[in-house]
Structure 1
Amino acid sequence: MTNSGASANAERADAARNRAVLIETARDMVADVGVDKITMDALAERSGLGKGTVFRRFGTRAGIFMALLDAGEREFQARVLSGPPPLGPGAEPADRLIAFGPARLRFLRENREIARAALGGRTPVPSGPPAAMTQRHIRMLLAKLAVEAPDAEILAMQLTAALDVPLLLYPEPHAPGRDDGDFEQRLSRGWEDLIRRVIRPGGP
């Protein structure tokens, strides 16, 4: 008589190991050859796993990048929830909110091409769990700051869009004769200015 429970556990463990191998291999390939060169066949060949395994794990090419983005999001969320301050717990809510912007912008910039490939032309703007996590975190910090707003949920949504949308949808502006840092730095300064205006007495 076979132990079906042990067999199922072994299967799940194998699937988890294969997924971890594929995620790490895909990350290495992004660094080595760039997003455009990654295909299901290329990932299977470099990982040493079968093409069928790659299809079962990701389904489509866009699924590879969605999985990469998801893994990166989990790491970013861990830094927000339990990492060192001011991004993580232990700092004043205003300092955490200000620090969140540059950290999120850096994450988005580093993963911009992966995010675009994950969207696969089907979703025009960022949506789903990552944006929802950002919105919840901002909403929580606004509540701790007792920010007076007619609709705090909408304010949190708009602040989320201020971070997620520019790096994904807009080309970086290049103003002639302007030497004030790159787009990410300008967005970070704009975020701090925006937050200080929102949290000042009298509300946004």
Structure 2
Amino acid sequence: MILGIPAQEEIAHQPCGEPALLTIPDTDVPNERSDAARNRRALLEAAARLITEHGPAALTMDELARHAGVGKGTVYRRFGSRSGLMLALLDHSERRLQAAMISGPPPLGPGADPVDRLVAFGRAKLELIPVQGDVLMAVGPIFAEGAYAAMLDHAVMLLGQSGTPGDLLLTAQLLLAGLDAHLVLHQIREQNIPLERIADNWETVARRLTQQYTPNATADQMTARTPRFPGEHEP
């Protein structure tokens, strides 16, 4: 498991009644042999670990080859350039997240309370920002449009399942705005806000938008498990 998202082998590939979310462009190599595809995924997992542990600047073709224990030529043959590697990593991490949402274990996958699933989704997206953020800003809407539409559909579905009233589309868009890579990287780098604090506050907002409509949860239970906004006092 990397960044809180189950690895591919942890995800059960079986129907679960969820809408298909994989609408982003496919950067996989056509007609790739199964062993080649497996090796490619292993390189991308190693690249994700490098970024998680050392930041985006640490991900170079040479460093990935060293970290993965392969020749530099192997990395160049797979991805062509650092830009190609970053785009492949972006696609890979997004697909893993979406697969976990569709058929992974709860709370991110099916089987959990819809509000808990919504919170798990938000936290998983935020944990991907160190991997995806700079690349998303570089590639712009060409990549992001399909992925955003899939995330929006998922959020709307969970809000509907939780019984949240009002305009579900606008509520989902409000929540997704807090997961925007530009905003989150600004908060982390310019405002020195820790990612954990951003995630905790996003969960607070999400739960407060839905808490009185969450099944099987009393007001006292929600108050006990929901962090308060900074500076807010107990009544």
TM-score normalised by structure 1 residue count: 0.64
Which of 1 and 2 has higher RCO (CA within 8 Å, sep 6+)?
Answer: 2
Q: Measure how far apart 1:163 and its partner are.
A: 3.2
Superposed, 1:69-148 pairs within 5 Å as 69-91=90-112, 95-96=113-114, 98-119=115-136, 121-123=138-140, 127-144=144-161, 145=163, 147-148=165-166
Q: Which runs of 5+ in 2 are unaligned?
A: 1-29, 215-235
1:194 paired with 2:209, answer yes
Q: Measure how far apart 1:146 and its partner are.
A: 7.6
Superposed, 1:151-162 pairs within 5 Å as 152-162=168-178
Q: 2:187 is paired with a residue of what secondary structure?
A: coil
* Alpha-carbon distance between aligned partners in 1 of 2:80 and 2:89, rounded to the nearest angstrom: 14
Q: Measure how far apart 1:195 and its partner are.
A: 3.5
Q: How much is the aligned-residue C-alpha RMSD, in angstroms?
A: 3.7
Structure with the higher helix share, 1 or 2 = 1
Q: Which runs of 5+ in 1 are unaligned?
A: 1-7, 176-180, 200-204
Q: Measure how far apart 1:183 and its partner are.
A: 2.6
Q: Measure how far apart 1:186 and its partner are.
A: 1.6
* Alpha-carbon distance between aligned partners in 2 of 1:193 and 1:182, rounded to the nearest angstrom: 16
User: Once the two structures are aligned, what percentage of the paired residues are identical?
Assistant: 37
Alpha-carbon displacement from aligned partner over 1:92-146 (angstroms, at most 9, x marks no partner): xxx41x2234323332333222112323634289823432221111222344438
1:57 paired with 2:78, answer yes
In structure 2, the CA distance between the partners of 1:60 and 1:104, relative to structure 1 (3 Å rule), is farther
* Alpha-carbon distance between aligned partners in 2 of 1:146 and 1:117, rounded to the nearest angstrom: 33
- Paired residues in the alignment total 180
Q: Measure how far apart 1:39 and its partner are.
A: 0.9
**8 Å CA contact retained: 1:69, 1:114:** yes
* Alpha-carbon distance between aligned partners in 1 of 2:135 and 2:40, rounded to the nearest angstrom: 17
